[in-house]
Each structure stands twice: as C-alpha cells, then as structure tokens.
Structure 1
C-alpha cells in the first residue's frame, strides 16, 4: 500500500473516531436530559456522510469532509470500502463471528435520474442499491418498496450479532437492584458468570471487554468486542478525548468474584438532521445552500433545487446471555489485582448496577459500530 494511501486511511480512521465521540456527546446529552437510554451506530452514520460526499461539491463537500474528519472525498471513499465495507461489514457467520447487516441504497424519483458515476459508486464502492421509484404519483407504493428492500437486506433486523466467546447460562440469571440516576432502584435480570474476564481498573471506573466467539482461523479477519464503562459521566471525558476509549481497553484476563451484567434491549429510530447540524453539517440540508449536483443529471425540479431533505437513522441492540451488539464498561470501588511473582492474582468484582456507557468495537480498525448508555435496563 502506498504511503499516501496509508496516511489517508489513518486520517479517516482518526476522523471517524472523533466524529463518533462528538456524536456521542450530542446524543448522550439529549437522552440524559429526558432520562432516556441511548443506542446509535456511529459507523453507519459515518458511511452515510461518505455516501453524501460522493454527490456533493464546492462548500457543501468541504463541510461534509470536515465533519467526517476526512482529507478528501477519494480517501474517505477508499477508507469506507477497505476498512468498513470489506472488513467490518464482512459476513463472519462461517467462522462463528458476528453478522452486521447494513442497508445502503439510493432511491430517486424516476424524473430525476442518477448520474452514471454516482450510480456506479453506490453499487461498486458501497455495495449498495440504486433504484428509481415514482415518489410523486405513487408515494405509498414507493415507501412500501423501500421498506421491503431494507427488511430483506437486514434480514428484518438492523443487526444480527454473534455469540459471546463465553456465553452466560440462563439458569444463573437472577434479579438484582439497578440504581437509577435519580436515586431510585428497580429489580432487573442480571446475567452472571465466574470465568476470567478482561477487566481494566482505573481511578473511579472499570472497563470490561467481552469478546465475541470466532474460530480465529484468520487473524486478518475482524475482531469484534463489546466494551462497557462506568460511571456514565465518563462520556464527558470520551467526547473531549476521542482516543480515551481505545486507550483504556483492557488487554489481560483477571479472575472475577462477583460478575453481573443486566440484560437489556434498546432501539432508536428517527431523524438526526438537527444532531448533524449541531456538529457543523448545515449546507446539505437547505435548498438555497446545498450543492449536490453530482448526484443527478438535473440541478432543479418542479419542486425546487435538489438538497438532502432528511437523514433517518435506526439502531437496535439486544444484550442477553448468548450475545449482543455493542461494547460497554462499568464502575466499582474495588481495586484491580494483578500477578506479581508467584502471588495469586486478586479477584475483581464487576457489577453493572449503575448507569453505564457501552460500545461495540472492531478492534483492528478501531471502528465504533455501536455506542450508547443504559440509564434503566427495564426500558427499551
């Protein structure tokens, strides 16, 4: 690989990490203000920006690249193809690993044909679908067609992840108290296990890393982990220092004493335009400022100039005894023990019974696939 290509990929990866941290800060603040749980996919939103950049030019393109943290459109496109499409989103089910279903498509009205170059980029680079429909005269039928396609591509889910390397036993799941931010408590199912875990202990918080099951026949294959951090206030440190999460990931297994994680399922679906605008992405969403002339053969229609009217994001995470979709960490007052000479290592307690942040990471590339926080495991 050429040096320039390596530098571009490294810059795009750093940009993706910084973008994920900024998004986390925005989403977490909004969710916490309403005392809501949070789940979103920084990776898929970053890919959406890459797709958007393919059809943009001028100041609109510059703004997209600045928010995405990419040096150029070409480098961003190459990074998404190599690090995301061909690696993170590769089907690992044959090796026992996770399956990440990703729906990438462009749907345009039949009166506004796509430029051949844009069509080829969607299909070739992003492995997506480019289709024309009749939005004006058949809006309901068009929506049904799009929804059916998304359901087929994602197997009816947003993600279908693999199993934990060391799955929990359902017969050991018991109810325990979870302490909410307002000081109240609620009984929820907690999963338990007693085998060694990857846990790192720091001043005021701990980090857990749960690896997914893989056959490990090819070290070049994606390496997925679920990571959990507590307290929830650590999100502030992560947003101010994008490498905070990666710098604090545990690397060694330690023996555990009490080890409990709550089961939970979270969903999110809705427009994220205001969130992207808060990060500085403004021009694409306004008809008088957007320059997305490289998407279609025409610049205007009977309804006015072409612009990005909305960005809809949906994510689902379901954490149970067999597996899950993300990564997380939690806090405790216990010290972390380690082996010194022949002294047996000290057992570590890890009990996620307070609000925590979680992440699903592909470690080799550093891509954060899912992120969020749990304030109340009983609420979806």
Structure 2
C-alpha cells in the first residue's frame, strides 16, 4: 500500500506545490501554504483512527509505567508519524498505517485528514490558543524526494531545513525551533544528534485555553488526594458550582469543563477502582462516556496540576505493530531521501507540559522521529471531587479530535 500514487496524486500534489511555494534545499521553506479553513466536520473514519491510536498509545505507555502520572499527546505523535509514513514503502508503510489506527482507510484520506486537522488547529475559537508546526531537518549533501517534499508542504505545512548531524548546532537548532513553537514550555526535546542520522521529523503542539467559567482563586484550598496505595497527600483543590457536563455510571463519574466559547473542553473520568481501568479502556467506551455527558449543576473540586513528562515511544509503537520501521534490515524509507543508503527509525521521543489552574489550562507537546541509516439519575446538585486517580483528555467537540490524554495518579 502506497501513500503516494503519482497518477492519483499528481493533480493534488501540483496544487499543493502551488500553494506551498518552493521548498528550497538548505533553508527553511519560505512559502508554506496558508492554513486551510477550519473544517465544519471531519471524516469520521479519521476521527475514529485518532481515538483508536490515542487510546492504544496511552495504554502501551501506561503498561511500561503503571504507577506513574502520564501526560502525552497521541495526536502529535500521529501527525509526525503519518508524515514519515509518506516516505515509507511496501510492508513498512502498511505496518505504520495499521499501527497508527488507519487500517482500512484510503491512504489519500490520511493526508486529507491531516490537512483538515491543520485547519482545525489554525482556528480554535475565542479564548483558546492552539498552534502546531511540523519541521524536517535533513543531512547536508542529500536531497529530499520531490513527491515527499510536496506532500510535506501542502498537507502538513512542514518547514524543511538542511543541517549537519553530529554537530552541537544541529540539536540546538531543533530545540530552538521547538521552544519558539511551544512558548518555551519544551526547550530540550533532543539532547544531541549523531553523524549517522539522516533526517529528524518534528511536530510541536501548543494549547492554552481559558475556562468558560473560571475558578475563584479565593476558594482554592488544600485537601487530600488519595493515591494508588490509598495514602493521602495534601494538594490545592479549586472549587466551583456551575452547570457543567456530567456523566455517571456504575463505578465511574465524569465531568466536562469547557474552554472559551464551549467547543473545546477538558474531560476527566474518575473510576472507583483504578486497577485495570486503562486495560479495559476502548475507543467505544471513551466515545460512549463523551456522548453520555449532559449539563447538570455540579459542585466541583478539581486539583491543580503542573507537570512535565517525557516518553520514548519506540517500544510502545512496536507493541502496537510498528516493527519494520525500527528494523535496520527490513525498513523501507526509500521515499524520503534521493539515493540515500537504507534508512530506519531509530527513536520516537515526545516531551509534554501540562498546567491546570483557576484561569484555564496550558499544555504543550513535541514529538521527534529520528531517522538513521544502517448515565445515572441526577439530583439538583451533584458533587464531584476528583480526589482519586483519573483519566484526563483535552478534546475538540465540534470535530471529535482529542489533542491530549493523561492519567493523573498523584497531582502533588
């Protein structure tokens, strides 16, 4: 299965090239396409793929760190890996697309979905900032395959830069680029590069949303949060009583806190028992909880959160079936660089930032791909106290795209 079928794609690629402008070798792309308009809807198969991959990745990462806080952006990883898949061929590409949740999707719809996602992020609504950027760095002396350049610019808005891997300046340039695009929330995505690297593909994502109804700081006060082992820890809790999204079923309670005009929201789902909760989480259950959420007057206590996290995603992605891409003997990325030696993915690394306070939420993520050679009955007022481990998600409800997911096990 190929993402780039020239007979099918040539008109789209020519249009993308006209929009994107020339991508000059050796410098940042000077004429990137303007962001597309915000889509009114998104392809349902694409939305379901983002949910499927997001939950699969969260579960795979949690399996490695079952008793720790987690915060990641599956969509950041999905964007940069989908971009990378345009340069893969044969079984390598097929495995990547399946692991990314796209099994059964028309390959062209993947790039179209990514272009719609670009439009979604470019127009998030009032009182919400949402920025994303894609960057590609490639080794001096090599040329990027033209078809890949066109798709990278036209569908992903990616900037291309030439560099010399192995020199300190290469890592410094990538980290400066990420820092600018995440408001300095992520400044050290990669520590170094090596001379045998040939390409690094990066997605940066930044979110800042103001609550539709802010919490009053005067009402913030410490109270116990009960950790996995049952021991309490004192943390500051924010309080408000408002009409919020609420759902409850046996063993689970959930709440929805809207940002800005209400189209984007934070969801928190707290089970009675955390053990086994993520193992039983499925896209269908997740969407069912979202659909069951309805407005209700809620007396809410929400812990303040500030955390940084980092993940090496190679093993979790391999656990999802993306194996050939990481195998130096089997990987086929011949659609990336002209006439280069065989390439494979050496590592996929992501770093994230999250802060939840009385005003709203700030979150950032950056993901790098390193290519190397070689409902229940309600009373008038319900009370929700998120004082046990809970699942957290930041979602665009107009399109159904979940941008961030996490597990808050200890907000201290």
Band the TM-score falls in, shorter-chain normalisation: 0.7 to 0.9
Q: Note the C-alpha offset of 1:22.
A: 0.9
Partner of 1:96: 126
1:234 aligns with 2:262: no
CA distance in 2, matches of 1:325, 1:336: 32
Partner of 1:357: 391
Report the secondary structure of 2:222's partner residue: strand
Partner of 2:295: 253
Q: 1:163 aligns with which of 210, 214, 219?
A: 210
Report the secondary structure of 1:101's partner residue: strand
Work out whether residues 126 and 260 of structure 2, in 8 Å CA contact, stay in contact via their aligned partners in 1. Answer: yes
Partner of 2:323: 282
Q: 1:61 aligns with which of 93, 105, 122?
A: 93
Q: Note the C-alpha offset of 1:29.
A: 2.5
Which deviations, in whole Å up to 9, do the C-alpha atoms of 1:153-195 show, x marking residues without a partner? 2232352411010110111100001111112111100000112
TM-score, reference length from structure 1: 0.83
CA distance in 2, matches of 1:31, 1:170: 33
CA distance in 2, matches of 1:375, 1:146: 32
Q: Give the 3 Å change call, closer, same or farther, for CA 236–270 of structure 1 in structure 2.
A: closer
CA distance in 2, matches of 1:110, 1:53: 22
CA distance in 1, matches of 2:280, 2:395: 18
1:36 aligns with 2:68: yes
1:147 aligns with 2:194: no
Report the secondary structure of 2:160's partner residue: strand
Which deviations, in whole Å up to 9, do the C-alpha atoms of 1:316-341 show, x marking residues without a partner? 11111111158xxxxxxxx9544xxx
Partner of 1:194: 241
Q: Note the C-alpha offset of 1:125.
A: 1.1
Q: Which has the higher strand share?
A: 2
Q: 1:322 aligns with which of 359, 373, 385?
A: 359
Which deviations, in whole Å up to 9, do the C-alpha atoms of 1:122-169 show, x marking residues without a partner? 222101211110114xx2011111111111222323524110101101
Report the secondary structure of 1:166's partner residue: coil
Which deviations, in whole Å up to 9, do the C-alpha atoms of 1:35-87 show, x marking residues without a partner? 210000111111122111110111111111111222243211111111x1111
**Aligned pairs, number:** 337
Partner of 1:291: 332
TM-score, reference length from structure 2: 0.77
Provide structure 2 residue ranges, at least 5 long, that are not aligned to the other structure.
1-41, 186-204, 364-374
CA distance in 1, matches of 2:159, 2:294: 42
Partner of 2:312: 271
Partner of 1:331: none
